[in-house]
Structure 1
Amino acid sequence: MLNRLQESDIKLLRVFYAVASCNGFTAAEPVLRMQRPNISAAIKKLEERLDLVLCHRGRGGFQMTKEGEVVFQETKRIFNAFDNFVFNLKSLHDDYSGHITLVLMAGLPLSMHLAVSKAVKSTMKKFDDIHVNIQTRLYNEVEHVALSGECHLVVSTYDMVKPESVTFHPIGIATEGRLYCAPTHPLAKYRDCELPDNVNIEDYPAIGISGLSSANYIEDESRLAIQTFSDSFDAAMSAIMTGEYVGLLPDYMAKEQGAALGLVPIANGSLFNFSHNLFVINGKNTRLNPVLRHCIKELTYFIAESQK
């Protein structure tokens, strides 16, 4: 079992990271500039060092084990932090080159993704030797990745009390949302009218989003009967479409994805309305050099423009 990392272990982890990211040995060959037998030998040596089976390979194709998934996620976290360290170190010498990591909250609309692409293109054009690593994270992870140094910037909504250890750059727009159900749900018949006095929303199971407070799902004297939680709006929408739950969703999801599914805004969309501001976020320990400042400015501009 590995007790201490050596330089050779880091090289082996980089091979495994590439293989796992490419989902196979063959696909990783051009990335690593290594031949398959050498890649296979490196993975085998890493497994011996860790005393773990990281992946299965054979006729069934490449498949990571549960242990391999854990090692992959930890490896990604380490390498992201290391790349960020190198980038920040170069900035101290006015060398604005290297990799920056940008995290997007999972479930943002396509229009925002396109706006992010424009902002990244502008940043890479202004600073010649910059490469941008774009990732997505669940809502309940965005604060952690900003604080931990795993990334430089995060684009996300935020509806909780803002911690002092994180800097929030407002984009100037908000995502609106409300209470939805499936067309097969008993409350779907109240799509275009208010709920009758004898119908209580508390009597219908609801699904919540992990990390999302949304005023603790309370509106006036009504409270959602949260029976289970999901880790994203996308997954919550899947649960809602079973017809067993009601739940909060941003309106852009209902328009972009839910229209074909027949998602129903309950009571003409008047219940549990929410408005979550969108921010570019960074940890206070992130050094905002000219590259990151330019990227924040471009993200703010292009995302705001995309919603007009």
Structure 2
Amino acid sequence: MTRPARPLERLSLGDIDLRLLRVFMTIVQCNGFSAAQASLGMTQATISTHMRHLEERLRVRLCERGRAGFFLTDEGHQIHAACRDLFGSIDRFRATVGDTAGELSGQLSFGTVDAMVTNPALNLDRAIGAFHRMAPRVTLEFNVAAPQVLSQGLLSGTYHVVLMPAPERPVNTHSQPLFLETQKLYCGSLHPLFAVPDVALTPERLAAQAFAGRTYMQRLPICGLDFDWQAATPHMEGTLILLLSGAYIGFLPDHYATAEVERGRLRALAPDRVSFEDLFQIVYARQSPSRAAQALAKAIADHCTAKPAG
């Protein structure tokens, strides 16, 4: 029988409780115990032990885990929301102390979509290197997520700075356009269209193919084509795997697809007619952003070599 929830105002939080709560936050972010092992550097048994201790401390069941999968209880959702507020306040306090002392310190959480490492215009690795040299006392947490997750995380305080496509931008944030990314339609070498000349790729023929889209995109016509959505994934790597299977066609950033095109495993379909550009932006809180957040955003903007028009 579950005991009554312990009034939070009567719970005295110590260092061990904060550590347990951070473990809980990581489990939720990774959507499960197994997936959290690499991020936490712990075995699944150790993670289970930590969660059992936390639930005993709080006297509530935070999550269910088993064959049915991982999901939060109602109490787990409430505690997770409280954790976001708690750690957001701690991070803001640390940033304020660092700003007051005239140094960049504390923890900074940065998020971006995937497939950025192959973008020659971004130079994200150089930007992060420059930021570290400028702010060696800042602990940088770097995550990859879908645009909606980044937007929600910026609002909740999970992320302090995000790099994502427009027009996704949370309210009360500052954004700076960075670059345009070209997306082309591709198929794998095992797909029936791989050897078909572009001139024969009519809109009707392309629209009739099984299409792999993104889970966060609206199922609206793209480049004037009403595709037959039969698969979806939030990440570019997932799209690439689906295309290489030979079962689907779909869009990828041209810089991300280049290596597989050169290997002969991918082919752009009618690129002169079927392609579009995504505008990418760097975004952070408009009200009271930390100096570290502003410094990282500036470093990313400074190292981006391709500026969008306007």
Where on the TM-score scale, by shorter chain, does this alignment land: which range?
0.7 to 0.9
Task: Note closer, same or farther for the CA distance 1:117–1:54 as it changes in structure 2 (3 Å cut).
Answer: farther
Query: Could you tell me how far 1:260 is from its partner in structure 2?
Result: 3.7
Partner of 1:275 in structure 2? 277
- Choose the corresponding residue for 2:248, options 241, 245, 265: 245
User: Does residue 189 of structure 1 match 2:195?
Assistant: yes
Is 1:13 equivalent to 2:30 in the alignment?
A: no
Question: Could you tell me which residue of structure 2 aligns to residue 132 of structure 1?
Answer: 140
Structure 1 residue aligned with 2:293? 292
Instruction: Select 2:205's aligned residue among 200, 212, 233.
Output: 200
Task: State the partner residue of 1:85.
Answer: 92
- The whole-number CA distance in structure 2 between the counterparts of 1:101 and 1:113 is 23
The number of aligned residues is 281
- CA change 1:4–1:217 in 2 (3 A) is farther
Residue type matched to 1:299 in 2? Answer: I
Q: CA RMSD in A?
A: 4.0
SS of 1:133's partner is strand
Deviation at 1:299, TM superposition (A): 0.6
1:211 to 212, 216, 219: 216
| 1:288 shift after superposition | 3.2
Could you tell me which residue of structure 2 aligns to residue 66 of structure 1?
Answer: 70
**1:33 paired residue number:** none
Contact (CA 8 Å) 1:179, 1:247: kept in 2 or not?
A: yes
1:227 aligns with 2:230: yes
1:247: Cα distance to partner?
0.9
Deviates more, 1:39-48 or 1:287-296: 39-48
SS of match in other structure, 1:188 = coil
TM superposition shift of 1:167:
2.2
Q: What letter matches 1:293 in structure 2?
A: Q
Q: Deviations over 1:202-241 (max 9, x none)?
A: 2112121122359x33324x32222332212221222222
Q: Does 1:142 align with 2:150?
A: yes
> Could you tell me how far apart the structure 1 residues matched to 2:203 and 2:277 are?
28
Mapping of residues 85-104 of structure 1, within 5 Å: 85-90=92-97, 93=100, 95=102, 96-104=104-112
The residue that corresponds to 1:255 in the other structure is 258
Gaps of 5+ in 2: 27-35
Counterpart contact for 2:23–2:40, Cα < 8 Å: no
* Partner Cα separation in structure 2 for residue 13 and residue 123 of structure 1: 29
**Structure 1 position 77, deviation (Å):** 5.0
Query: Structure 1 residues 43, 288: closer, same or farther in 2, change over 3 A?
Result: closer
* Secondary structure of 2:195's aligned partner: helix
TM-score by length of 1: 0.73
Shift in CA distance, 279/80, structure 1 to aligned 2, threshold 3 Å: farther
Identity of matched residues, %: 17
Counterpart amino acid of 1:270? D
C-alpha contact (below 8 Å) 1:84/1:150 kept by paired residues: no
Q: Residue 80 of structure 1 contacts residue 101 of structure 1 at CA under 8 Å; is this kept in 2?
A: no
The TM-score with structure 2 as length reference comes to 0.72
Q: Give the direction of change, closer, same or farther, for the CA distance of 1:143–1:257 in structure 2 (3 Å limit).
A: farther
Q: Kindly indicate whether the alpha-carbon contact (under 8 Å) linking 1:156 and 1:280 is maintained by their aligned counterparts in 2.
A: yes
What's the offset of the Cα at 1:136? 1.3
CA distance in 2, matches of 1:196, 1:236: 21
What stretches of structure 1 of length at least 5 have no aligned partner? 27-35, 57-64
Q: How far is 1:113 from its partner?
A: 11
**Larger deviation: 236-245 or 192-201?**
192-201
Shift of 1:24: 1.9
The residue identity in structure 2 corresponding to 1:209 is R
Cα shift readout 1:15-65 (whole Å, capped 9, x = no counterpart): 666884334259xxxxxxxxx8xx987554224344468889xxxxxxxx7
Cα separation, partners in 2 of 1:77 and 1:248, compared to 1, 3 Å: farther
Cα distance between partner residues in 2 of 1:79 and 1:258: 47
